[in-house]
Amino acid sequence: MIALEVHNLSKSFDSVLPAAVSDISFSLERGEIIALLGPSGCGKTTTLRLIAGFERPDEGKVILNDRIMADRTTFVPPEKRGISMVFQDHALFPHLTAKQNVLFGLNKQPKTAAQEKALGMLRLVGLEHLSERYPQELSGGERQRIALARALAPNPIVLLLDEPFSSLDADMRVEVREQVRAILKASRATAVFVTHDQEEALYMGDRIAVFRKGKIEQIDTPQQIFHAPNSRFVAEFIGSTDFIPGEVVEQGIQTEIGMLPQFTKLPSGTKVEIALRFDDIQFKPQAGSKSLVLERQFRGAYNIYRLRLPSGNLVHAMQPHISFFKPGTPVQVSFVSDHPLAIFRNGLAVDY
Partner 1 sequence: MLYVFVRAVGGGTDVWMRLLQTRLWSLLANTLTLTLAVTAGTLILGVCMAWLTERTDLPGRTVFRWMLALPLAIPAYIGAIVHLALLRPRGGYVPQFLDWLLGHPVNTPSPLGFAGASFMLILFLYPYVYLLSGAAFRSLHAALDEASHLFGRNNWQTLWSVTLPALRPGLTAGALLVTLDILAEYGTVTLLRYETFSSAIFVQLSGRYDRSAASVLSGVLVLIAIIALWGELRMEGKAQYTQLDSSWRHAPPIRLGPWRFPAFLLVSGVCFASLIVPISVLAAWSIQAFSNQQLLSQVMQSGSRTILNFAFNSLWSAGLAAFLAVTLSLPVALFAKRYPGKLSRVISRLCQTGYALPGVVVALSLVLVVNRALPFLYGTSFVIVIAYILRHMPQAVRASEAALTQISPSMEEAARSLGRTSIQSFFQVTLPLILPGLLAGGALVFLTSLKELPATLLLRPAGFDTLAVRVWIWAEEGFYTQAAPAALLLILASVIPLSFLLKREQIFK
- Residues contributing to the site for partner 1 (CB under 8 A): 52-54, 77-80, 83-85, 87-89, 91-95, 104-105, 107-108, 150-151, 154, 160
Cβ distance to partner 1 smaller for residue 29 or 169 = 169
Output the smallest distance, CB 97 to partner 1, in A: 13
First to last CA, the chain: 34
The span from the CA of 170 to the CA of 14, in Å, is 35
Cβ distance to partner 1 smaller for residue 82 or 330 = 82
The span from the CA of 294 to the CA of 242, in Å, is 15
User: How far does Cα 130 stand from its chain's mean position?
Assistant: 32
Output the smallest distance, CB 61 to partner 1, in A: 20
Coil, strand or helix: which one is 240? coil
Cβ distance to partner 1 smaller for residue 92 or 342 = 92
The span from the CA of 2 to the CA of 16, in Å, is 36
Coil, strand or helix: which one is 278? helix
Output the smallest distance, CB 52 to partner 1, in A: 6
Output the smallest distance, CB 2 to partner 1, in A: 21
Coil, strand or helix: which one is 348? strand
Cβ distance to partner 1 smaller for residue 96 or 294 = 96
The span from the CA of 232 to the CA of 224, in Å, is 14
Output the smallest distance, CB 273 to partner 1, in A: 42
Comparing CA positions, the residue from 245, 222, 218 lying closest to residue 234 is 218
Output the smallest distance, CB 134 to partner 1, in A: 13
Are 8 and 24 a contacting pair, CB within 8 Å? Answer: yes
Cβ distance to partner 1 smaller for residue 98 or 160 = 160
DSSP secondary structure string, 151-205?
HHTT--SEEEEESTTTTS-HHHHHHHHHHHHHHHHHTT--EEEEES-HHHHHHH-
Cβ distance to partner 1 smaller for residue 60 or 135 = 135
Cβ distance to partner 1 smaller for residue 77 or 269 = 77
Cβ distance to partner 1 smaller for residue 40 or 107 = 107
Output the smallest distance, CB 85 to partner 1, in A: 4
DSSP secondary structure string, 307-347?
EE-TTS-EEEEEEETT----TT-EEEEEE--SSPPPEEETT
Cβ distance to partner 1 smaller for residue 87 or 302 = 87
Output the smallest distance, CB 300 to partner 1, in A: 28
The span from the CA of 213 to the CA of 210, in Å, is 10
Report which DSSP code applies to 139: -
Q: CA 329, 335, 337 angle in degrees (round to 5)?
A: 145
Output the smallest distance, CB 87 to partner 1, in A: 4
- Rounded to whole angstroms, the maximal C-alpha distance in the chain is 81
User: How far does Cα 85 stand from its chain's mean position?
Assistant: 18
